[in-house]
């Protein structure tokens, strides 16, 4: 499978696209105005401790106080907290919506192959490395490289088949980095940020470039040079694959990445067969509805449904990665009567999700064809990052019809007529509502004027949306 990473750099934002066989799979975006916080280490101060919630709010110098749970305190060796106490913490989840950043006191520093945990003595290995012999080799290699110095390590998936010398280089780098962080931690008057994680481009070099990545193309010469320097020092096997892209054609126009990003903001996702998905994000969960659409198949209804669901399983896994959807996801597959068809669709979904770098787990399909997926939420979804709530519909996704608004206006006029005395009324509304009042509802408006005994005038306000109006007493 051919994979490339395309990196678009501008002064305002950096975008990283992971492309497999010419198809966009992942998008990572970092804006200069608000970089992600995950991995950053802060010296904070406990502003409020909530025993009932077994949690604390910690001021780390951000707009909103961050949140620390008791389990995360114990993991980092912190026994108890009091308000006003200074504390070294690390961000494990960016602020999302109205929620502040999520913290831990168990600080960890990642490199390409290992993650260093200074306050632990544990050696862990990624579950995706399932060969027992390789797991034993890696554990022994890390113990040898550690020597007698304290600390624990987790071996990442990319550590599989890596030499002891490469692991040792990672460990040495992380210990030097921790020494620098420790010095800042112990400065008596220092509060706020004491260590910032790498920029998006360098994180991509560290985390996204795997053996199957053929090229990394960067359209900024300055960032290309920085990426090369970083790669030569920390991930030398990546350096030969990094290329500067000087083309006049925007780099994200290759493989139609820009178009794919736009489509990833749509509710409806077309399937090649003629079927389609409908994806809806809510605060509590994301729902995915599978539909046959225009696909009628060549055999019978059961076969048509099965083929549509199979295609949908692969499309859903890609959309979760592309849109970075996390938390609870409910997939409503088209009902299948054949138990074997259900098993095959579920296995297809599991295989497709196995290629996702973000951990996801799947529950069995219910009798109604519903499948529950939980995918780790680490950052804002693409929609929340690039979009905002519609000011007209306030996030409902629908607007009241002009007829509904016209009836609301009639009720408002009656309400005003009963409470206040006035000579006449002026209705200020959008063009479409005024048109409805002047045309279809003209008789109703005339009867209302006769009932209240006062004239009603209409005025168009071009800046009003369909639901906005005013009833002015004149």
Distance (Å) of CA 185 to CA 103, 109, 266, 371, 466? 16, 15, 45, 46, 55
285 & 341 share domain? yes
The CATH number for 216's domain is 3.30.420.60
Q: Residue 35: pLDDT above 60?
A: yes
Q: Residue 304: pLDDT above 90?
A: no
pLDDT attached to residue 295: 62
Q: Is residue 278 part of a domain?
A: yes
Q: Is residue 9 part of a domain?
A: yes
352 & 279 share domain? yes
- 306: confidence class by pLDDT, cuts 50, 70, 90: very high
pLDDT attached to residue 71: 77
Which tokens is 138 given?
A: 């890696």
Region 38-54: mean pLDDT is 87
The model's pLDDT over 143-167, given as tens digits with 9 standing for 90+, comes to 888 888 888 999 998 888 888 888 8
373 & 299 share domain? yes
pLDDT attached to residue 75: 61
pLDDT attached to residue 448: 94
Among 319, 354, 386, the domain boundary falls at 386
pLDDT attached to residue 50: 83
Q: Residue 397: pLDDT above 90?
A: no
pLDDT attached to residue 1: 66
pLDDT attached to residue 290: 95
User: For the chain, what is the mean pLDDT?
Assistant: 89
Calculate what percentage of the chain has a pLDDT beyond 90.
54
357 & 425 share domain? no
pLDDT attached to residue 74: 64
Q: Residue 76: pLDDT above 60?
A: no
pLDDT attached to residue 154: 94
The CATH number for 88's domain is 2.40.50.140
pTM above 0.85, yes or no: no
Among 220, 235, 263, the domain boundary falls at 263
- 296: confidence class by pLDDT, cuts 50, 70, 90: low
287 & 369 share domain? yes
Q: Which domain holds residue 249?
A: 1-35+199-263
- 108: confidence class by pLDDT, cuts 50, 70, 90: very high
Region 224-234: mean pLDDT is 90
Region 100-123: mean pLDDT is 90
Calculate what percentage of the chain has a pLDDT beyond 70.
97
Q: Is residue 220 part of a domain?
A: yes
- 315: confidence class by pLDDT, cuts 50, 70, 90: very high
Q: Is residue 188 part of a domain?
A: no
* Euclidean distance between CA atoms 389 and 282, whole angstroms: 12
pLDDT attached to residue 55: 86
Q: Is residue 147 part of a domain?
A: no
pLDDT attached to residue 380: 83
341 & 306 share domain? yes
269 & 382 share domain? yes
**414 against 301, higher pLDDT:** 414
* Euclidean distance between CA atoms 266 and 316, whole angstroms: 14
Region 30-56: mean pLDDT is 86
- 410: confidence class by pLDDT, cuts 50, 70, 90: very high
Distance from the Cα of residue 200 to its chain's centroid: 15
Q: Residue 463: pLDDT above 90?
A: yes
The least confident of 64-78, 166-180, 357-371, 430-444 is: 64-78
2 & 84 share domain? no
The model's pLDDT over 206-217, given as tens digits with 9 standing for 90+, comes to 888 887 899 999
pLDDT attached to residue 297: 58
Who contacts 40 (Cβ-Cβ below 8 Å, separation ≥6)? Answer: 90, 91, 193, 195, 196, 197
**108 against 162, higher pLDDT:** 108
8 & 20 share domain? yes
The CATH number for 410's domain is 3.40.1260.20
Q: Is residue 145 part of a domain?
A: no
The least confident of 84-98, 399-413, 433-447, 451-465 is: 84-98
What's the domain count of the chain? Answer: 4
Which tokens is 63 given?
A: 């707009």
pLDDT attached to residue 299: 66
Q: Is residue 137 part of a domain?
A: no
339 & 290 share domain? yes
pLDDT attached to residue 372: 96
Q: Is residue 318 part of a domain?
A: yes
Region 415-439: mean pLDDT is 92
* Euclidean distance between CA atoms 437 and 428, whole angstroms: 11
268 & 370 share domain? yes
Among 344, 360, 386, the domain boundary falls at 386
pLDDT attached to residue 289: 96
456 & 376 share domain? no
pLDDT attached to residue 450: 93
């Amino acid at each position: 499978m051919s994979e490339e990473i395309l990196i678009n750099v501008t002064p305002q934002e950096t975008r990283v696209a992971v492309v497999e066989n010419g198809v966009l799979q992942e998008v990572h975006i970092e804006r200069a105005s608000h970089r992600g916080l995950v991995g950053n280490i802060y010296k904070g101060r406990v502003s409020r401790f909530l025993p009932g919630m077994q949690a604390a709010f910690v001021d780390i110098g951000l707009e909103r106080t961050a949140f620390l749970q008791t389990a995360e305190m114990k993991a980092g060796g912190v026994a108890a907290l009091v308000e006003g106490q200074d504390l070294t913490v690390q961000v494990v989840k960016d602020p999302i919506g109205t929620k502040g950043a999520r913290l831990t006191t168990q600080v960890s520093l990642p490199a390409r192959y290992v993650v260093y945990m200074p306050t632990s003595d544990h050696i862990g290995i990624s579950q995706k490395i399932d060969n027992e012999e390789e797991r034993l080799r890696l554990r022994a290699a890390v113990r040898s490289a550690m020597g007698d110095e304290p600390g624990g390590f987790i071996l990442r998936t990319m550590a599989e088949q890596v030499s002891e010398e490469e692991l040792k280089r990672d460990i040495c780098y992380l210990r030097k980095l921790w020494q620098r962080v420790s010095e800042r931690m112990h400065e008596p008057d220092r509060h706020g940020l004491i260590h910032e994680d790498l920029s998006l481009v360098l994180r991509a070099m560290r985390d996204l470039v795997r053996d199957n990545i053929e090229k990394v193309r960067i359209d900024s010469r300055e960032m290309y040079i920085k990426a090369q320097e970083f790669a030569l020092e920390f991930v030398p096997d990546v350096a030969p694959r990094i290329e500067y892209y000087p083309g006049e054609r925007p780099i994200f126009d290759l493989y139609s990445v820009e178009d794919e990003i736009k489509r990833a903001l749509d509710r409806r996702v077309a399937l090649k067969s003629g079927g389609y998905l409908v994806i809806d994000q809510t605060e509590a969960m994301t729902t995915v509805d599978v539909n046959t659409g225009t696909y009628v198949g060549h055999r019978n209804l059961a076969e048509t449904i099965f083929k549509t669901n199979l295609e949908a399983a692969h499309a859903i896994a890609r959309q979760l990665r592309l849109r970075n959807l996390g938390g609870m996801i409910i997939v409503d597959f088209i009902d299948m009567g054949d138990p074997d068809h259900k098993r095959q669709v579920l296995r297809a979904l599991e295989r497709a999700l196995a290629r996702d770098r973000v951990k996801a787990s799947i529950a069995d399909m219910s009798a109604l064809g519903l499948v529950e997926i939980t995918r780790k939420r680490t950052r804002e979804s693409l929609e929340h990052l690039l979009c905002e709530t519609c000011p007209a519909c306030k996030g409902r996704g629908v607007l009241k019809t002009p007829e509904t608004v016209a009836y609301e206006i009639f009720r408002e006029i009656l309400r005003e007529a009963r409470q206040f005395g006035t000579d006449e009324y002026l209705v200020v509304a959008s063009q479409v509502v005024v048109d409805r009042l002047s045309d279809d509802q003209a008789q109703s408006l005339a009867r209302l004027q006769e009932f209240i005994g006062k004239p009603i005038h209409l005025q168009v306000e071009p800046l009003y949306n369909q639901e906005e109006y005013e009833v002015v007493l004149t």
